[in-house]
DNA sequence: TCAAAAGTGTTAAAAATACACCCATGG
DNA sequence: CCATGGGTGTATTTTTAACACTTTTGA
C-alpha cells in the first residue's frame, strides 16, 4: 500500500569525501567516471543506494568498489538535494566524509570508476556534478570538527609520533602550532597511550610512539566530554 | 536513460523538529497522524519530497501544511536511513530542525495531520516511526550549536530583554547562568542592538529591549568568526 | 662532529568565574 | 512602601600564548 508519491520520489545516491595525508599535503580521493554523464571527468566516489542497505553501508560499499578503500572512519556530512544538481534527473545525494591513512590502502578502481587517485587540495581537477561544493562542505566540517573531537588520528598509522600528529593539525587548520603547547594540550586529554617504542629508520633522534586510546575516549564521551585544540 | 537502480530507489521524505519556548519550557511541535501507519499517534511533521522542490522547501511546505508554522529558522540536521525505519517500505528521511517564537504562530492542522500541538520535552507522548531518535538528535544538535552560533534569538520575538535571552540559554543548556557574566559576554559579541525601548506592562522596573543585529553577524561570519557562551 | 629533529618549563596576558548590592517601577 | 526583577564592577582563578635551549641519534 505504497503512497502514490513514492513512485515519483527522487532517486537516492551516496557520495564520499575521503581525506588522506601524504607527507605534507592533505589529499582527497577521487575517481574518474567511466560512464555518462561527465564520463572521463573526476568525481567523488559514490553511487545509488540499494533497497536493502542503509546509507552508511552504501557509502562504504561504493567506496570499496570504486577505489578499494575500506575500513575507515566515516561520518555523514550533509544531504544535497538541489533540483538540478544531476543532469540525469532528480537525484538526491547523502554525502559522507572520511579519514584514512592513505599509505594503508592500495587504490584499485573498478565498476563505474575508470581510475582512482589522490589529489592535493590545491591541485584539484574540475569535478563532475556539484562535487566541488560537497568537497568544500566536507573540508569546512573537517576543520570545525577536528578542533573538538579527536579524529586527527584517523589520518595516521595506529602508532604515531607527536610531531606527526601536530603536522596533521597544522595541515588541516592551515596554521602553525606551538610544539610545546601542542604536546601539553594533547597529552592532557589523556587520550594518548605512550608506548615503549620509538621510530625506526630515521636519521636523527627517534621519537616516541603513541597510540590513540579508544577506551579512554569512550569513557570520556559518555560524560559529555569536550576538548579543544 | 535512467540507470536501472533508480527505479528501485528508496523513497524520500523530510521531517522537521521545531522547537519553541513557552514561558519556562522548551517545547517541540508535533502532529497527530491522520493516516496509517501509526494513525492517531503523534509524530514529527513531514512528508514526501516532490520531484520539483528542493529538500528544505519540502520541509517548509510540509511544516506549513500540517501545522501552519512558516517563516522560521530551519537547518538540515541529519538523514535517517535505517532499512526498517518505516513499515511502509524503504523510506529515507532528511530531517531538519527549526526554531520559532511559538507565540507568533497559531497552529492549524491540515492535510495528513489530524491535530498539531506543542509538547514540553519532559512530557512527550509516544512517537511514530523512529521519531524519538530524530528528536533526540535534534536536541543534541541544538545544545551544541547554541553555544557557538547565535541562534537563541530565533526562539524570541524580534525585540527581547537580556533576561529573556538568558532564560533561552538556560533552558537549552539546562544549567543556570550568571547574570552579570552572561550580559557582559553577549553584549561583547556586538551582535545585539540596544533599542530606545523598554518592556511594557510589567509590575516592576521595565527592562531595556534589544534586537539581534543580522548585519553585524553577516559581517563577522565572513571572517570566520566564532563565539562561545 | 655535524645535521636534524626530540624533548622539555616558565612567565605574561587574557579569559572565565564567582560574587552582592542598589535602583526603578507598579501595585 | 513593598515586592519584583533590572542593572552594574571587581577580585580570583584558570586557561592560553609566547618563547629557546639541551639532548639524542645516525650518517
Domain coverage including residue B192: 151-222
CATH for A205: 1.10.10.10
What are the cell numbers at A183?
604536546
Mind giving me the DSSP string for B78-117? EEE--TTS-TTS-EEEEEEEEE--GGG------TTEEEEE
* pLDDT the model gives residue B79: 99
Above pLDDT 70, what percent of chain A? Answer: 97
pLDDT, one tens digit per residue, over A159-201 is 999 999 999 999 999 999 999 999 999 999 999 999 999 999 9
Q: CA–C1' distance A90–D24 (Å)?
A: 62
Q: Is residue B228 part of a domain?
A: no
Output the average pLDDT for chain B. Answer: 94
The pLDDT of residue A225 is above 80: no
Residue B175 CB lies within 7 Å of the nucleic strand C: no
Residues B11 and B118 in one domain: yes
Q: Which residue has the cell 533497497?
A: A51
Q: Which of B9, B47, B83, B93 is the best residue to mutate to test the A interface, defined by the most A CB atoms within 10 Å of its own CB?
A: B9
The average pLDDT across A24-45 equals 96
> Would strands A11-22 and A91-99 be described as parallel, antiparallel, or unpaired?
parallel
pLDDT band for B1, please (50, 70, 90 cuts): very low
The pLDDT of residue B5 is above 80: no
* pLDDT the model gives residue A226: 76
Q: Which of A10, A46, A47 is the best residue to mutate to test the B interface, defined by the most B CB atoms within 10 Å of its own CB?
A: A10
The pLDDT of residue B211 is above 50: yes
Residues A133 and A174 in one domain: no
pLDDT, one tens digit per residue, over B144-192 is 999 999 999 999 999 999 999 999 999 999 999 999 999 999 999 999 9
Euclidean distance between CA atoms A111 and A33, whole angstroms: 10
Residues B118 and B212 in one domain: no
3-state secondary structure of B77: strand
Output the average pLDDT for chain A. Answer: 94
CB pairs under 8 A between A and B: 95
8-state DSSP, B127: B
3-state secondary structure of A12: strand
Mind giving me the DSSP string for A94-146? EEEEEE--GGG------TTEEEEEEEETTSPPPBSTTHHHHHHHHHHHHHHHT
Residues B38 and B70 in one domain: yes
Q: Among residues B112, B145, B178, which one ends one of the domains?
A: B145
Residues A123 and A14 in one domain: yes
* pLDDT the model gives residue A192: 96
A37 phi, psi to nearest 5 deg: -80, 170
Residues A50 and A132 in one domain: yes
Residues A132 and A163 in one domain: no
Q: Among residues B122, B145, B168, which one ends one of the domains?
A: B145
Strand partners, B185: none
The pLDDT of residue B7 is above 60: no
* pLDDT the model gives residue A1: 38
CA distances from B198 to B137, B184, B195, B203 (A): 37, 19, 8, 13
Q: Is residue B229 part of a domain?
A: no
Q: Is residue B95 part of a domain?
A: yes
pLDDT band for A229, please (50, 70, 90 cuts): confident
The pLDDT of residue B196 is above 70: yes
Number of domains forming the structure of chain A: 2
The average pLDDT across B69-91 equals 98
The average pLDDT across A84-104 equals 97
Residues A120 and A169 in one domain: no
Residues B49 and B101 in one domain: yes
Strand locations in B121-160 (E): 159-160
What are the cell numbers at B172?
537549552
Q: Among residues B114, B145, B176, which one ends one of the domains?
A: B145
Q: Chain A residues with CB inside 8 Å of B5's CB?
A: 11, 47-48, 50
Burial state string for A166-199 with b = 16 or more CB within 10 A and e = fewer than 16: bbbbebbeeeebeeeebbeebeebebbeeeeeeb
pLDDT band for B220, please (50, 70, 90 cuts): confident
Residues B69 and B137 in one domain: yes
pLDDT, one tens digit per residue, over B182-193 is 999 999 999 999
Euclidean distance between CA atoms B29 and B116, whole angstroms: 7
* pLDDT the model gives residue A5: 44
pLDDT band for B24, please (50, 70, 90 cuts): confident
CB of B73 closer than 8 Å to CB of B98: yes
3-state secondary structure of A212: strand
Nearest Cα residue to B220 out of B148, B142, B156: B148
Amino acid at each position: 500500500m505504497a503512497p502514490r508519491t513514492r513512485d515519483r520520489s527522487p532517486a537516492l545516491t551516496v557520495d564520499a569525501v575521503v581525506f588522506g595525508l601524504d607527507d605534507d599535503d592533505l589529499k582527497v580521493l577521487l575517481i574518474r567516471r567511466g560512464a555518462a554523464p561527465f564520463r572521463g571527468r573526476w568525481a567523488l566516489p559514490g553511487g545509488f543506494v540499494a533497497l536493502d542497505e542503509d546509507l552508511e553501508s552504501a557509502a562504504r560499499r561504493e567506496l570499496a568498489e570504486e577505489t578499494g578503500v575500506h575500513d575507515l572512519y566515516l561520518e555523514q556530512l550533509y544531504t544535497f538535494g538541489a533540483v538540478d544538481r544531476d543532469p540525469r534527473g532528480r537525484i538526491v545525494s547523502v554525502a559522507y566524509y572520511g579519514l584514512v591513512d592513505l599509505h594503508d590502502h592500495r587504490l584499485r578502481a573498478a565498476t563505474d570508476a575508470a581510475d582512482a587517485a589522490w589529489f592535493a587540495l590545491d591541485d584539484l581537477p574540475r569535478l563532475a556534478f556539484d562535487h566541488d561544493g560537497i568537497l568544500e562542505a566536507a573540508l569546512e566540517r573537517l576543520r570545525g570538527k577536528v578542533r573538538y573531537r579527536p579524529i586527527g588520528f584517523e589520518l595516521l598509522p595506529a602508532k604515531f609520533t607527536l610531531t606527526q600528529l601536530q603536522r596533521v593539525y597544522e595541515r588541516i587548520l592551515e596554521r602553525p602550532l606551538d610544539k610545546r603547547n601542542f604536546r601539553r594540550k594533547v597529552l592532557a586529554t589523556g587520550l594518548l597511550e605512550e608506548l615503549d617504542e620509538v621510530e625506526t629508520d630515521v636519521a636523527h633522534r627517534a621519537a616516541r610512539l603513541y597510540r590513540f586510546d579508544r577506551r579512554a575516549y569512550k569513557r570520556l564521551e559518555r560524560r559529555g566530554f569536550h576538548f579543544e585544540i
